Each structure stands twice: as structure tokens, then as C-alpha cells.
Amino acid sequence: MVGAETFVSVGLNAISATLILVLIALGLVVIFGFMGVINLAHGAFFTVGTYVIWFVSTELGLGFWLGLVLAPLVTGFIGYLVEVLIISRLYHRLLDTILATWGVAIVIRETIKLLFGATSKTVDNPIPETLDLGIVSYPSYRIFLMGFTLALLVAIFALFDRTQFGIRMRAVIQDSRAASLMGINQERMYQLAFSSGAALAGLAGACMTPLVSVDPSTGLSFLVQSFLAVILGGTGSLLGVLPGSVVVAGSTNVLTFVIQPVAAQTLAFVVAIVIIALRPEGILNRSQS
């Protein structure tokens, strides 16, 4: 029989894994979900975020929290350059954008290798303590990540659903020609959306740095899970990434408690594929979000 301590621990691990994937996938929701761009450079933007915080906190000695602020700014600027110089010329050309973003990912990875080498690096946990929850003690930094991710999800939802920026972006997505007639600068909106998505990927990378090893391919391991979570939730739904992440990450974490990790991940992916087959528009589609 499963004790209360084990039950709470497994539950917290599942919630933590779910919200961590939400954090990683949020930038992909903006670029892939709203703009329709299959951004294979998402993992590379994530990796840039990990290196920014490593360089700022470890090499320059300026602290983790300053790095956390700078990481999305740096990746957002890189995303802006990528959109202006490359992606802006390839909209509505699916295969070309896939190849272009994959090329961008390769360039970023190889540039990182040239600048910092291929060896793994680490960043100290800024909140190394554990929090006593009565039944169990749980890492304080993971608790921080849960709260931060939920707050970020609410903030981004409010940005895209309640502000002029969000209204204009939805107008461009739904009918770009009508939006242009209304005086909305379509190019500017796409630039802002793509750079925002890149910034969110960099922020996710920075947040994850104390939990992962920093190397040129760090972000690649999260790419498939992120795409799957976004597709499951509904490609135009910000809130949909939450149930999508529950299926992909949360269920895997729970299943790992009873079966082998590889089998758990395989089973979770099979469940995800079945859900996509039965509900291709996603758990939450655009109209629901």
C-alpha cells in the first residue's frame, strides 16, 4: 500500500514536471501556435538562455538573478534578428521555414561550441534549501519554479487576451488582409511575436539551468516534448499547453513510479498520439481559449 509520504512526493514530482514543460513550451505556443511557424530553433533558444545565465552567474560572478533577467533579453534580440533576416521572407512556406529554423539551430549550436567549448557546465542552485511541507520536504527551487510558471502563464494569457497587442495579434492571425486595412502593421506584430517566443524559450532555459547540465545540445532533448504538449493542448491555445503537459510530462512522472522510465515515457507518448487522433484540434482549441 502506498503511504501518504510517497503519494504526496509522487504528486509533487508530477506537478513539477508538468509545470516545467509548460514553462519550456510557452514560447513554442506563441511561435508555432499563433504564427504557424514550426520553429525547430526553439531548443537552440532554450540553450542560449542556459549559457547566458551560466556566463553571467559563473564566469562574470554577477549572480543568478541578474542572469535570469538578461537571458530572455538576449534570446529575444536573437529571435528578432532571425525573424527580420530569415523568417519574414518565408511565411506560408512550411517546408522552407522548417529547414530555415533547423539551420538556425545548427548555427547557434556550433557557435556555442566555438565560443565556450562542448564540455558540460553547471550552475549552482540559487535556492538550495528544502521546504518542509509537513508530510514531506521538497526542493525550494522547484516550488519557486511551479509558482513562477503559473504566474507567467496567467500574465501571458492576459497579454494576448486582454491587451491591444493581443487583440492586434489575433486580428493578424485570423485575417491578415483585414488587419492591414485596419492599419495594423503585420510585419511589426510578427516581429514582436517571434522575438517574444524566443525570449520565453531563453527564460525557460535560464530557469532550468540549476536542474540540468549546460551543453550545446541541452535544449534539443526538450523539443519533441514541447511540440507534443502544444499540439495536444491545441495549437492556438495558451491554456491548452497545461493539459497537454499533464499528458506528456505529468503522466510520465506518475507512471515511472510503477514501471520502467522508458516504458513510462513510451506509454505516455502512445496516449498522446491516441488523443491527437481522436481530437486533432487539441484538448483546448482556439475557440475555447
Sequence-separated contacts (24+) of 264-269 with Cβ below 8 Å: 269/228
Could you tell me the CA-to-CA distances from 174 to 6, 34, 177, 232, 260 in Å, in that order? 47, 10, 9, 21, 44
Chain centroid to CA 233: how far?
14
pLDDT of residue 284: 66
pLDDT of residue 287: 42
Which residue ranges in the chain fall short of pLDDT 70? 1-3, 33, 173-176, 236, 284-289
pLDDT of residue 288: 41
Integer Cα distance of 73 and 272 in angstroms: 33
Q: Residue 218 carries which side chain, given as an amino acid letter?
A: T
Q: What is the pTM of this model?
A: 0.87
The DSSP letter of residue 132 is E
Which cell numbers in the block locate residue 171?
486580428
* Most distant CA pair in the chain, distance: 65
- Helix 261-278 vs helix 220-233: angle between axes, to the nearest 10 degrees? 30
pLDDT of residue 2: 56
Contact status, residue 50 vs residue 223, Cβ threshold 8 Å: no
- 4-288: CATH topology is ABC transporter involved in vitamin B12 uptake, BtuC (1.10.3470)
Please, which residues have CB within 8 angstroms of residue 261's CB and are 6 or more apart in sequence?
Answer: 252
pLDDT of residue 94: 82
Please, which residues have CB within 8 angstroms of residue 221's CB and are 6 or more apart in sequence?
Answer: 43
Q: Which of 52, 41, 55, 33 is nearest to 203 (CA)?
A: 52
Helix (H) or strand (E) holding 130: strand 130-132
Please, which residues have CB within 8 angstroms of residue 19's CB and are 6 or more apart in sequence?
Answer: 145, 146, 149, 150, 245
Integer Cα distance of 10 and 194 in angstroms: 36
Scanning the chain, the segments in alpha helix (DSSP H) are 4-28, 42-54, 64-85, 94-116, 140-162, 164-174, 176-181, 186-208, 220-233, 241-245, 251-256, 261-278
pLDDT of residue 52: 95
pLDDT of residue 102: 94
Domain ranges of the chain: 4-288
Which cell numbers in the block locate residue 65?
538573478
Residue in the structure block whose three cell numbers are 517574444? 196
Integer Cα distance of 232 and 219 in angstroms: 20
The DSSP letter of residue 182 is T
Q: Which of 115, 125, 100 is nearest to 31 (CA)?
A: 100
